[in-house]
């Protein structure tokens, strides 16, 4: 049964948000993919904000009809958006990853300035972790965040790359090191940096094989200064903030993977029931049945793992308790998206690799990023096993 872990209110919400995205996102999806039309992305972000959907994750800030909004609903939103256009979904998922630490760890003035506009859909957020020498090994980052007691400011120096929403975001959550602590992650610190702060530059954006329409690029901080109150949490508390953010982000990525996988599956099953081959419908062939069955059970497994993680979060599980389940959701859903996209292209044959006959080739290109962003599949496996082998500390 689909949606097994969701209750009636959750399912009704899915129908509502699906209708909304069909009206607002679907008509703009080809402009986002073909023209990389940022104004189309912004338009839909704004309408999601106006409808209150960007507040789902923050129950006390939510003003809509759901009795108990939460990560489950934000993930349903991600799943439904990724089904239509994964690039668009990454823009809102990234903005929520920025909103999460602002909501939990910022002072009131900072929340008013940066969080409220993101949740209203009038501002865009970004997260700056990855650097040229630091990807999976995020604890070893080289960006410095030093405090200047004379001016009462944080001074940021560093270079971040592969930053989603770079150059179009209004506010950046920047992680760096503020002390010479050993181990290095003990000095990790997070600050909020507005795009207009002195010393912020956006050297270039990248071209990717998929996710077209989501802008991803570099951000450079050169003696960039922000006021003292732009610190999130406390100095040296950045690693804990980042770990919490990644748990929530990985559960949402379960939704992204599911949306992309379901999109591929629907293309494949429609084709298998339409295309004739050797005198019969393609779907009659046992080798095609096998592919459909493989996709089907993987999607169900991904769905169960994803909504188990979100339901745990909504029930109050803390970051430590959620780490394994969130990593499993991300791992299985994003690997499933790749599996389904690949098999769909195969089922469609030539139609699968041209732009002339639908979206199979786009879904295939889009899916590829999923096992890399938000922590790779290899990192997710490490997180899972580290819970199963608690007495073993491996040096990655
Ligand atoms: C489209 C896109 C959007 C992104 N958006 C953002 C963003 O908004 N903000 C942000 O901060 N970052 C972002 N990233 C960066 C992303 O999080 C990193 O790409 C990812 O964490 C992997 O880091 P890396 O690319 O440096 O690969 P590396 O860390 O160099 O890894 C390369 C390969 O080696 C494997 N590997 C590494 N270490 C080990 C090990 N110990 N054992 C086994 N295998 C290992 C990895 O799993 C991977 O397969 C984005 C990336 C992409 C592609």
For 149-189, write each residue's pLDDT tens digit.
999 999 999 999 999 999 999 999 999 999 777 777 888 99
- Output DSSP code: residue 58: -
In this structure, the answer to whether residues 248 and 316 fall within a common structural domain is yes
Average pLDDT for 6-29: 97
pLDDT of residue 20: 98
| Ligand 1 in reach of 1 Cβ (< 6 A) | no
Beta-bridge mates of residue 164 = 216
Task: Tell me the C-alpha distance between 392 and 130, whole Å.
Answer: 27
Distance (angstroms) between ligand 1 centre and the Cα of 203 equals 20
Helix (H) or strand (E) segment spanning residue 222: strand 216-227
In this structure, the answer to whether residues 163 and 196 fall within a common structural domain is yes
In this structure, the answer to whether residues 175 and 268 fall within a common structural domain is no
CATH number for the domain that contains residue 324: 1.20.140.10
- Atom number in ligand 1 closest to CA 396: 41
CATH number for the domain that contains residue 213: 2.40.110.10
Query: What residue's CA is closest to ligand 1, atom 6?
Result: 163
Beta-bridge mates of residue 316 = none
- Between the two ends of the chain, the Cα-to-Cα distance in Å is 39
Is 70 exceeded by the pLDDT of residue 272?
yes
In this structure, the answer to whether residues 206 and 246 fall within a common structural domain is no
Query: Using one digit for the tens of pLDDT, what is the confidence trace for 117-147?
Result: 999 999 999 999 999 999 999 888 999 999 9
Of 120, 137, 165, the one marking the end of a domain is 120
Distance (angstroms) between ligand 1 centre and the Cα of 202 equals 20
Distance (angstroms) between ligand 1 centre and the Cα of 134 equals 8
Token couple for 283:
């779907």
Q: Of 246-260, 314-328, 353-367, which range is least confident?
A: 314-328
In a domain, 294, yes or no: yes
| Ligand 1 in reach of 138 Cβ (< 6 A) | no
| Ligand 1 in reach of 318 Cβ (< 6 A) | no
Closest CA to 214 of 37, 334, 358: 37
Average pLDDT for 318-333: 92
Number of domains the chain is built from: 3
DSSP 145-181: EEEETTTTEEEEEEEEEEEETTTT-SEEEEEEE-S--
> Contact at 8 Å (CB) between 115 and 49?
no
In a domain, 209, yes or no: yes
In this structure, the answer to whether residues 140 and 190 fall within a common structural domain is yes
In this structure, the answer to whether residues 247 and 376 fall within a common structural domain is yes
Task: Tell me the C-alpha distance between 363 and 85, whole Å.
Answer: 9
pLDDT of residue 179: 79
Average pLDDT for 345-372: 97
In this structure, the answer to whether residues 115 and 139 fall within a common structural domain is no
- Atom number in ligand 1 closest to CA 130: 11
Assign 3-state DSSP to the chain and report helix, strand, coil percentages, each to 5.
60, 15, 30
In a domain, 396, yes or no: no
Q: Is 165 left (phi over 0), alpha (psi -120 to 50) or beta?
A: left
| Ligand 1 in reach of 164 Cβ (< 6 A) | yes
Sign of CA dihedral 37, 42, 43, 47: positive
Query: What residue's CA is closest to ligand 1, atom 26?
Result: 135
In a domain, 358, yes or no: yes
168 is in which domain, residue-wise?
Answer: 125-236
Query: Using one digit for the tens of pLDDT, what is the confidence trace for 28-40?
Result: 999 999 999 999 9
Beta-bridge mates of residue 146 = 155
Distance (angstroms) between ligand 1 centre and the Cα of 251 equals 17
In this structure, the answer to whether residues 257 and 378 fall within a common structural domain is yes
Of 120, 148, 163, the one marking the end of a domain is 120
- Atom number in ligand 1 closest to CA 214: 1
Q: Is 85 exposed, middle or buried (0-12, 13-18, 19+ CB in 10 A)?
A: buried
Token couple for 368:
């590829």
Is 80 exceeded by the pLDDT of residue 252?
yes
In this structure, the answer to whether residues 101 and 150 fall within a common structural domain is no
Query: What residue's CA is closest to ligand 1, atom 9?
Result: 163
Average pLDDT for 76-89: 98
In a domain, 395, yes or no: no
Distance (angstroms) between ligand 1 centre and the Cα of 255 equals 20
pLDDT of residue 364: 98
pLDDT of residue 240: 92
| C-alpha to C-alpha distances, 334 to 191, 227, 396, nearest whole angstrom | 30, 39, 22
Q: Global pTM?
A: 0.97
Of 220, 236, 252, the one marking the end of a domain is 236
* Ligand 1 pocket, mutate which of 101, 132, 133, 162 (most atoms under 8 A from CB): 162
* Ligand 1 pocket, mutate which of 370, 376, 380, 381 (most atoms under 8 A from CB): 376
| Ligand 1 in reach of 136 Cβ (< 6 A) | yes
In a domain, 317, yes or no: yes
In this structure, the answer to whether residues 194 and 305 fall within a common structural domain is no
> Contact at 8 Å (CB) between 163 and 127?
yes
pLDDT of residue 1: 65
> How many beta carbons lie within 10 A of that of residue 286, not counting itself?
6
- Atom number in ligand 1 closest to CA 216: 3
DSSP 226-269: EEGGGEESSTT-HHHHHHHHHHHHHHHHHHHHHHHHHHHHHHHH
- Atom number in ligand 1 closest to CA 128: 11
CATH number for the domain that contains residue 66: 1.10.540.10
Q: Of 1-15, 22-36, 154-168, 215-229, which range is least confident?
A: 1-15
Which residues, 6+ apart, have CB-to-CB distance to 242 below 8 Å?
A: 129, 138, 175, 188, 190
- Atom number in ligand 1 closest to CA 136: 29
Closest CA to 210 of 375, 28, 360: 360
| Ligand 1 in reach of 96 Cβ (< 6 A) | no
Is 90 exceeded by the pLDDT of residue 276?
yes
Distance (angstroms) between ligand 1 centre and the Cα of 138 equals 9
In a domain, 340, yes or no: yes
In this structure, the answer to whether residues 153 and 255 fall within a common structural domain is no
In a domain, 193, yes or no: yes
In this structure, the answer to whether residues 176 and 263 fall within a common structural domain is no
Average pLDDT for 241-259: 94
Average pLDDT for 322-332: 96
């Amino acid at each position: 049964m689909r949606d097994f872990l969701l209750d009636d209110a959750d399912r009704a919400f899915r129908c509502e948000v699906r209708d909304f995205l069909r009206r607002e996102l679907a008509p703009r999806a080809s402009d986002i993919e073909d023209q990389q039309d940022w104004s189309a992305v912004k338009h839909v972000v704004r309408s999601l904000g106006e409808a209150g959907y960007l507040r789902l994750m923050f129950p006390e800030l939510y003003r809509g009809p759901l009795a108990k909004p939460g990560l489950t609903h934000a993930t349903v939103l991600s799943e439904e958006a990724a089904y239509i256009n994964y690039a668009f979904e990454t823009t809102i998922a990234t903005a929520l990853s920025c909103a999460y630490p602002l909501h939990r760890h910022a002072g009131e003035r900072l929340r008013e300035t940066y969080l409220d506009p993101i949740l209203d859909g009038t501002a865009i957020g970004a997260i700056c972790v990855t650097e040229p020498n630091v990807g999976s090994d995020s604890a070893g980052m080289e960006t410095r965040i030093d405090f200047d007691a004379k001016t009462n400011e944080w001074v940021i120096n560093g270079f971040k790359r592969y930053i989603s929403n770079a150059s179009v975001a209004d506010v950046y959550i920047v992680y760096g090191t503020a002390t010479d602590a050993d181990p290095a992650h003990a000095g990790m610190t997070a600050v909020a940096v507005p795009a207009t702060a002195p010393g912020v530059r956006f050297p270039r954006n990248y071209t990717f094989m998929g996710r077209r329409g989501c802008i991803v690029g570099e951000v450079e901080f050169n003696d960039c200064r922000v006021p003292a109150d732009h610190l999130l949490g406390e100095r040296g508390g950045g690693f804990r903030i980042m770990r919490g953010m990644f748990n929530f982000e990985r559960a949402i990525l379960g939704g992204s993977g599911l949306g992309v996988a379901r999109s591929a599956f629907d293309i494949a099953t429609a084709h298998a029931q339409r295309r004739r081959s050797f005198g019969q419908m393609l779907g009659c062939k046992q080798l095609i049945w096998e592919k459909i069955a493989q996709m089907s059970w993987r999607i169900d497994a991904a769905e169960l793992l994803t909504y188990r993680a979100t339901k745990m979060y909504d029930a109050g599980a803390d970051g430590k308790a959620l780490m394994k389940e969130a990593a499993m959701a991300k791992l299985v859903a994003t690997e499933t998206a790749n599996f389904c996209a690949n098999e769909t292209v195969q089922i469609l044959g030539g139609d699968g690799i041209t732009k002339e006959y639908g979206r199979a080739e786009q879904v295939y290109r889009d899916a590829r990023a999923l096992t890399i962003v938000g922590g790779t599949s290899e990192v997710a496996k490490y997180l899972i096993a580290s819970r199963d082998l608690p007495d073993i500390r491996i040096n990655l």
